[in-house]
Protein backbone atom coordinates (compact mmCIF):
# COMPACT_ATOMS: atom_id res chain seq x y z
CA UNK A 1 0.00 0.00 0.00
CA UNK A 2 2.78 2.43 0.91
CA UNK A 3 4.54 1.60 -2.36
CA UNK A 4 1.44 2.59 -4.34
CA UNK A 5 0.94 5.83 -2.39
CA UNK A 6 4.58 6.79 -2.79
CA UNK A 7 4.36 6.17 -6.54
CA UNK A 8 1.32 8.38 -6.90
CA UNK A 9 2.82 11.17 -4.80
CA UNK A 10 6.22 11.00 -6.52
CA UNK A 11 4.75 11.03 -10.02
CA UNK A 12 2.20 13.75 -9.38
CA UNK A 13 4.85 16.06 -7.91
CA UNK A 14 7.82 15.46 -10.20
CA UNK A 15 6.37 14.85 -13.68
CA UNK A 16 4.85 18.34 -14.13
CA UNK A 17 8.10 19.95 -12.97
CA UNK A 18 10.18 17.80 -15.32
CA UNK A 19 7.90 18.49 -18.28
CA UNK A 20 7.90 22.24 -17.68
CA UNK A 21 11.68 22.42 -17.39
CA UNK A 22 12.32 20.15 -20.37
CA UNK A 23 9.89 21.95 -22.67
CA UNK A 24 11.47 25.30 -21.79
CA UNK A 25 14.99 23.97 -22.40
CA UNK A 26 14.06 22.11 -25.59
CA UNK A 27 11.78 24.82 -27.00
CA UNK A 28 13.72 25.18 -30.30
CA UNK A 29 13.26 21.48 -31.06
CA UNK A 30 9.58 21.57 -30.19
CA UNK A 31 8.95 24.70 -32.29
CA UNK A 32 10.54 23.13 -35.39
CA UNK A 33 8.30 20.05 -35.16
CA UNK A 34 4.84 20.75 -36.59
CA UNK A 35 3.42 17.30 -35.84
CA UNK A 36 4.04 17.23 -32.09
CA UNK A 37 5.75 13.87 -32.18
CA UNK A 38 8.87 15.26 -30.52
CA UNK A 39 6.74 16.50 -27.62
CA UNK A 40 5.23 13.04 -27.17
CA UNK A 41 8.62 11.34 -27.34
CA UNK A 42 10.13 13.76 -24.81
CA UNK A 43 7.15 13.24 -22.49
CA UNK A 44 7.41 9.45 -22.67
CA UNK A 45 11.16 9.44 -22.06
CA UNK A 46 10.82 11.77 -19.08
CA UNK A 47 7.93 9.79 -17.59
CA UNK A 48 9.83 6.50 -17.87
CA UNK A 49 12.96 8.09 -16.39
CA UNK A 50 10.95 9.63 -13.55
CA UNK A 51 9.26 6.34 -12.68
CA UNK A 52 12.63 4.55 -12.72
CA UNK A 53 14.17 7.14 -10.38
CA UNK A 54 11.14 6.91 -8.08
CA UNK A 55 11.40 3.11 -7.87
CA UNK A 56 15.13 3.25 -7.13
CA UNK A 57 14.58 5.96 -4.51
CA UNK A 58 11.93 3.89 -2.78
CA UNK A 59 13.92 0.64 -2.90
CA UNK A 60 17.23 2.11 -1.75
CA UNK A 61 16.23 4.82 0.73
CA UNK A 62 12.61 4.78 1.85
CA UNK A 63 12.00 1.04 2.22
CA UNK A 64 15.11 0.43 4.40
CA UNK A 65 14.18 3.46 6.51
CA UNK A 66 10.65 2.09 7.01
CA UNK A 67 11.98 -1.36 7.95
CA UNK A 68 14.43 0.14 10.44
CA UNK A 69 11.68 2.30 11.93
CA UNK A 70 9.31 -0.69 12.20
CA UNK A 71 11.75 -2.68 14.39
According to the 3-state scheme, what is the secondary structure of the chain?
CHHHHHHHHHHHHHHHHHHHHHHHHCHHHHHHCCCCHHHHHHHHHHHHHHHHHHHHHHHHHHHHHHHHHHC
**Mean pLDDT, contiguous 10-residue spans, the chain (71 residues):** 85 91 88 87 92 91 88 77
Q: What is the pLDDT of residue 52?
A: 93
Q: What is the pLDDT of residue 3?
A: 79
Domain boundaries, the chain: 32-71
Q: What is the pTM of this model?
A: 0.77
Nearest 5°: phi and psi at 62? -75, -45
Amino acid sequence: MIYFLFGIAWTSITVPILLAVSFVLLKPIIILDDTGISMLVISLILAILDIYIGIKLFDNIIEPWLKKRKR
